[in-house]
Amino acid sequence: MKLTPFDDEYFMRKALQEAEIAFEKGEIPVGVVVVIDEKIIARGHNLTELLNDVTAHAEMQSITAAANYLGGKYLKNCTMYVTLEPCQMCAGALYWAQISNLVFAAGDPERGFRKMGTKLHPKTKVKFGIMETEASQLLKKFFIQKRNLN
Protein backbone atom coordinates (compact mmCIF):
# COMPACT_ATOMS: atom_id res chain seq x y z
CA MET A 1 0.00 0.00 0.00
CA LYS A 2 1.43 3.36 -1.03
CA LEU A 3 1.14 6.07 1.59
CA THR A 4 0.01 9.53 0.63
CA PRO A 5 0.99 12.79 2.33
CA PHE A 6 -2.60 13.04 3.57
CA ASP A 7 -2.38 9.98 5.78
CA ASP A 8 -1.66 9.79 9.55
CA GLU A 9 0.63 6.82 8.92
CA TYR A 10 2.66 8.80 6.37
CA PHE A 11 3.34 11.58 8.86
CA MET A 12 4.01 9.18 11.73
CA ARG A 13 6.56 7.44 9.53
CA LYS A 14 8.29 10.82 9.16
CA ALA A 15 8.26 11.19 12.96
CA LEU A 16 9.78 7.70 13.25
CA GLN A 17 12.58 8.81 10.92
CA GLU A 18 13.31 11.59 13.42
CA ALA A 19 13.28 9.02 16.24
CA GLU A 20 15.85 6.95 14.31
CA ILE A 21 18.10 10.03 14.12
CA ALA A 22 17.81 10.40 17.90
CA PHE A 23 18.62 6.69 18.31
CA GLU A 24 21.78 7.06 16.22
CA LYS A 25 22.86 10.01 18.39
CA GLY A 26 22.40 7.99 21.59
CA GLU A 27 19.27 9.92 22.55
CA ILE A 28 16.02 8.32 23.68
CA PRO A 29 14.41 7.71 20.27
CA VAL A 30 11.47 10.07 20.19
CA GLY A 31 10.67 11.95 17.01
CA VAL A 32 8.14 14.57 15.98
CA VAL A 33 6.80 16.31 12.92
CA VAL A 34 4.38 19.24 12.98
CA VAL A 35 2.00 19.56 10.04
CA ILE A 36 -0.26 22.32 8.77
CA ASP A 37 -2.29 22.09 5.57
CA GLU A 38 -0.73 18.67 4.88
CA LYS A 39 2.78 20.19 4.90
CA ILE A 40 5.52 19.40 7.41
CA ILE A 41 6.61 22.71 8.93
CA ALA A 42 8.79 21.41 11.76
CA ARG A 43 10.74 18.31 12.70
CA GLY A 44 12.41 17.38 15.93
CA HIS A 45 13.94 14.63 17.99
CA ASN A 46 15.27 14.35 21.51
CA LEU A 47 18.46 16.31 22.15
CA THR A 48 18.64 16.13 25.94
CA GLU A 49 22.02 14.35 26.03
CA LEU A 50 23.66 16.36 23.26
CA LEU A 51 22.52 19.70 24.69
CA ASN A 52 22.76 18.58 28.35
CA ASP A 53 19.27 20.03 28.77
CA VAL A 54 16.37 18.16 30.36
CA THR A 55 13.90 20.35 28.45
CA ALA A 56 15.29 19.46 25.00
CA HIS A 57 12.54 16.94 24.27
CA ALA A 58 11.51 16.35 20.67
CA GLU A 59 8.17 18.09 21.25
CA MET A 60 9.81 21.21 22.69
CA GLN A 61 12.23 21.39 19.74
CA SER A 62 9.41 21.15 17.22
CA ILE A 63 7.08 23.59 19.02
CA THR A 64 9.81 26.23 18.78
CA ALA A 65 10.55 25.42 15.13
CA ALA A 66 6.85 25.47 14.16
CA ALA A 67 6.24 28.77 15.97
CA ASN A 68 9.24 30.29 14.17
CA TYR A 69 7.95 29.01 10.83
CA LEU A 70 4.46 30.43 11.47
CA GLY A 71 5.73 33.68 12.96
CA GLY A 72 3.63 33.32 16.11
CA LYS A 73 3.40 31.32 19.31
CA TYR A 74 0.11 29.52 18.63
CA LEU A 75 -0.06 26.27 16.68
CA LYS A 76 -3.72 26.47 15.79
CA ASN A 77 -4.63 24.32 12.78
CA CYS A 78 -1.45 22.29 13.32
CA THR A 79 -1.10 18.58 14.00
CA MET A 80 1.83 17.16 15.96
CA TYR A 81 2.80 13.58 15.21
CA VAL A 82 5.03 12.15 17.94
CA THR A 83 6.32 8.64 18.44
CA LEU A 84 5.80 8.59 22.22
CA GLU A 85 3.05 10.07 24.38
CA PRO A 86 4.23 13.49 25.58
CA CYS A 87 5.28 13.97 29.20
CA GLN A 88 3.57 16.54 31.39
CA MET A 89 6.15 19.24 30.52
CA CYS A 90 5.58 18.82 26.80
CA ALA A 91 1.81 18.52 27.25
CA GLY A 92 1.89 21.79 29.18
CA ALA A 93 3.77 23.47 26.33
CA LEU A 94 1.27 22.03 23.84
CA TYR A 95 -1.54 23.43 25.98
CA TRP A 96 -0.06 26.94 25.84
CA ALA A 97 0.72 26.60 22.12
CA GLN A 98 -2.94 25.64 21.56
CA ILE A 99 -2.06 22.78 19.20
CA SER A 100 -5.18 21.67 17.35
CA ASN A 101 -4.33 17.98 16.99
CA LEU A 102 -1.98 15.58 18.73
CA VAL A 103 -1.29 12.14 17.27
CA PHE A 104 1.06 9.83 19.15
CA ALA A 105 2.22 6.30 18.47
CA ALA A 106 3.14 4.62 21.77
CA GLY A 107 1.61 5.43 25.12
CA ASP A 108 3.84 6.06 28.13
CA PRO A 109 2.15 4.43 31.12
CA GLU A 110 4.89 5.63 33.51
CA ARG A 111 5.50 9.27 32.54
CA GLY A 112 2.91 10.17 29.92
CA PHE A 113 0.67 13.20 30.34
CA ARG A 114 -2.41 11.00 30.80
CA LYS A 115 -0.85 9.13 33.73
CA MET A 116 0.24 12.42 35.31
CA GLY A 117 -3.22 13.93 34.87
CA THR A 118 -1.97 16.81 32.72
CA LYS A 119 -4.63 18.34 30.52
CA LEU A 120 -4.23 19.53 26.95
CA HIS A 121 -6.04 22.57 25.59
CA PRO A 122 -9.80 21.87 25.54
CA LYS A 123 -9.89 22.25 21.74
CA THR A 124 -7.00 19.82 21.14
CA LYS A 125 -8.08 16.56 19.52
CA VAL A 126 -6.00 13.48 20.42
CA LYS A 127 -5.44 10.24 18.50
CA PHE A 128 -3.05 7.49 19.51
CA GLY A 129 -1.86 4.05 18.52
CA ILE A 130 -0.79 5.01 14.98
CA MET A 131 2.30 2.82 14.30
CA GLU A 132 2.51 1.98 17.99
CA THR A 133 4.35 -1.30 17.39
CA GLU A 134 7.15 0.31 15.37
CA ALA A 135 7.64 3.12 17.89
CA SER A 136 7.60 0.72 20.85
CA GLN A 137 10.10 -1.62 19.20
CA LEU A 138 12.56 1.23 18.62
CA LEU A 139 12.28 2.36 22.25
CA LYS A 140 12.75 -1.21 23.52
CA LYS A 141 15.79 -1.69 21.26
CA PHE A 142 17.32 1.52 22.64
CA PHE A 143 16.88 0.56 26.29
CA ILE A 144 18.12 -3.01 25.74
CA GLN A 145 21.29 -1.61 24.12
CA LYS A 146 21.69 0.94 26.90
CA ARG A 147 21.39 -1.75 29.61
CA ASN A 148 23.91 -3.98 27.81
CA LEU A 149 26.47 -1.15 27.63
CA ASN A 150 26.27 -0.44 31.37
- Annotated binding site, which residues? 57, 87, 90
* DSSP assigned state of 73: S
State the sign of the Cα–Cα–Cα–Cα dihedral 10, 103, 64, 89: negative
Residues at the binding site for Zn(2+) are 57, 87, 90
Rg (the chain; Cα; Å)? 14
Q: Is 27 one of the annotated active-site residues of the chain?
A: no
Length of the chain: 150
CB 58 within 8 A of CB 44: yes
Determine how many CB atoms are found less than 10 A away from the CB of residue 84. Answer: 29
* DSSP assigned state of 84: E
Active-site choice (59, 110, 132, 134): 59
Residues forming the active site? 59
